[in-house]
């Protein structure tokens, strides 16, 4: 039974990456549920205009703009509205310490999200985690810190939210294995010769999801699924052999858990990130909403295929990096961020991305249990190596 409305104390959320795809949808969720959530802090990188618009609507306590050249514009506009304004990467890292924050939604894209999430955990803030790269780069360190500080990490990524939802009420029952579903992206079923000539525009056309540019390219190359496999290992404390990927082009089943009695639980719904965002923010509650509902009649066939690891080598590289462990997933992620950026600028071809990532993995010396500083150094060195290879 849910508590009567008058007893609800709104959860104060810091939205890291409020101007992005996840960030704006998180604000949609807050707009729908003003009794349950408030936006305590908004953080953006470069989109000052949208940050200002959001701040004027949601009246946060503070905002941070990563790009310091935009500080004056944001400050001058929000000053009279009594909203604190900070700028720069250090401020992004530190803002999560604010006492009035109950939960941090980590929705900055890429490695750039790592420092603020780690600092939030150190300050005992619960995390709603969209930024999968955090767990790919430093899953060992991040999950250890979360345990030490009594912090919960609630998955926002739809597949991991699905697994989490399937596990509700099953905490004592061991997982036999999980299946992460993958749409297959815009190039599902294509061969190497087709991929040789694909363009940025083709890769950005995802069949089922509208997302930021980086994750959309990752979805086309199946690196996104590779990152998610590693993310799942850390979130659910699994062995690599317990994680499988199945291509499901309709993106209706968001992932599945198989228990030791052979029973499989799946979570279904339309592909819409607002649901997993809301579930992570409201857990353990399920809040009523007006998001569109799934209709079986529109989906008479749900189908499944094996992923093509020969053509989409990124997924195989990610499995390999996960098996090796240590700093290898950090190398995988850093090299991938560099090549995706270059692909978006049309400086490398689609298939070259995997070549460069593979070379970086082969050339980097293995470190078994890196400390934070070693992850930082490994990320930097890999970026230099990948850039030199482009």
Q: Applying CB under 5 A, what is the total number of residues that bind Mg ion? A: 3
In the complex, minimum distance from the CB of residue 218 to ligand NDP, in angstroms, rounded to a whole number: 7
> Counting Cβ atoms within 10 Å, is residue 166 exposed (0-12), middle (13-18) or buried (19+)?
buried
Instruction: Give me the helices (H) in 79-167, please.
Output: 89-95, 114-122, 133-148, 158-167
Contact status: 161 vs ligand NDP (CB under 6 A): no
Residue closer to Mg ion by CB (options 117, 158) is 158
Site string for ligand NDP, 17-46 (x = CB under 6 A): xxxxxxx--------------------xxx
Which range of residues in 193-201, 210-218, 290-298, 345-353 is near ligand NDP by CB under 6 A? Answer: 210-218
Contact status: 157 vs Mg ion (CB under 5 A): yes
Per CB under 6 A, contacts with ligand NDP among 65-84 are 66
Q: Which of 120, 138, 273, 275 binds ligand NDP (CB under 6 A)?
A: 273
Contact status: 209 vs ligand NDP (CB under 6 A): yes
In the complex, minimum distance from the CB of residue 293 to ligand NDP, in angstroms, rounded to a whole number: 19
Phi, psi of 256 (to 5 degrees): -140, 150
Residue closer to ligand NDP by CB (options 93, 374) is 93
Write the CA distances from 40 to 67, 83, 95, 225, 378, integer angstroms.
Answer: 20, 10, 11, 32, 34
In the complex, minimum distance from the CB of residue 24 to ligand NDP, in angstroms, rounded to a whole number: 8
Contact status: 197 vs ligand NDP (CB under 6 A): no
CB half-sphere exposure, 119, CA atoms < 13 A: 18
Which residue has the CB atom at the shortest distance from ligand NDP?
20
Give me Rg for the CA atoms of the chain. Answer: 20
CB half-sphere exposure, 167, CA atoms < 13 A: 22
Q: Where are the beta strands (DSSP E) in the chain?
A: 11-16, 37-44, 62-65, 84-87, 103-106, 126-129, 153-155, 175-182, 243-247, 253-259, 264-268
Q: Which residues bind ligand NDP (CB under 6 A)?
A: 17-23, 44-47, 66, 92, 107-109, 112, 130-133, 157, 209, 211-215, 273
């Amino acid at each position: 039974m849910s508590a009567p409305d008058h007893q609800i104390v709104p959860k104060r959320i810091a939205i890291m990456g409020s101007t992005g795809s996840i960030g704006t949808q998180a604000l949609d969720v807050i707009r729908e549920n003003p009794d349950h959530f408030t936006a305590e802090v908004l953080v953006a990188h470069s989109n000052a205009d949208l940050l200002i618009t959001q701040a004027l609507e949601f009246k946060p306590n503070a905002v941070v703009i990563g790009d310091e050249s935009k500080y004056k514009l944001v400050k001058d506009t929000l000053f009279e509205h009594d909203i604190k304004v900070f700028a720069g990467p250090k401020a992004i890292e530190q803002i999560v310490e604010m006492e009035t924050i109950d939960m941090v939604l980590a929705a900055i894209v890429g490695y750039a999200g790592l420092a603020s999430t780690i600092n939030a955990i150190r300050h005992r803030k619960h995390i709603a985690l969209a930024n999968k790269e955090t767990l790919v780069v430093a899953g060992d360190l991040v999950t250890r810190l979360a345990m030490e500080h009594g912090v919960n990490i609630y998955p926002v990524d739809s597949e991991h939210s699905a697994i989490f939802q399937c596990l509700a009420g099953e905490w004592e029952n061991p997982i036999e294995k999980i299946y992460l579903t993958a749409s297959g992206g815009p190039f599902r079923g294509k061969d190497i010769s087709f991929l040789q000539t694909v363009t940025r525009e083709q890769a950005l056309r995802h069949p089922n999801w509208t997302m930021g540019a980086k994750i959309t390219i990752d979805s086309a190359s199946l690196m996104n699924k590779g990152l998610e496999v590693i993310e799942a290992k850390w979130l659910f404390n699994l062995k690599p052999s317990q994680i499988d990927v199945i291509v499901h082009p309709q993106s209706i089943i968001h992932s599945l858990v198989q228990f030791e009695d052979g029973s499989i639980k799946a979570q279904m719904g339309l592909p819409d990130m607002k649901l997993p965002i809301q579930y992570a923010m409201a857990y353990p509650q399920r809040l009523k909403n007006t998001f569109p509902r799934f209709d079986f009649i529109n989906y008479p066939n749900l189908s499944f295929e094996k992923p093509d690891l020969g053509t989409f080598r990124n997924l195989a590289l990610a499995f390999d990096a996960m098996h090796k462990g240590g700093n290898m997933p950090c190398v995988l992620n850093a090299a991938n961020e560099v090549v995706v950026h270059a692909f978006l600028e049309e400086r490398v071809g689609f298939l070259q991305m995997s070549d460069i990532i593979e070379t970086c993995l082969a050339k980097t010396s293995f470190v078994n249990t890196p400390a934070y500083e070693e992850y930082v150094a490994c990320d930097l060195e890999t970026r230099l190596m990948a850039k030199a290879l482009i």
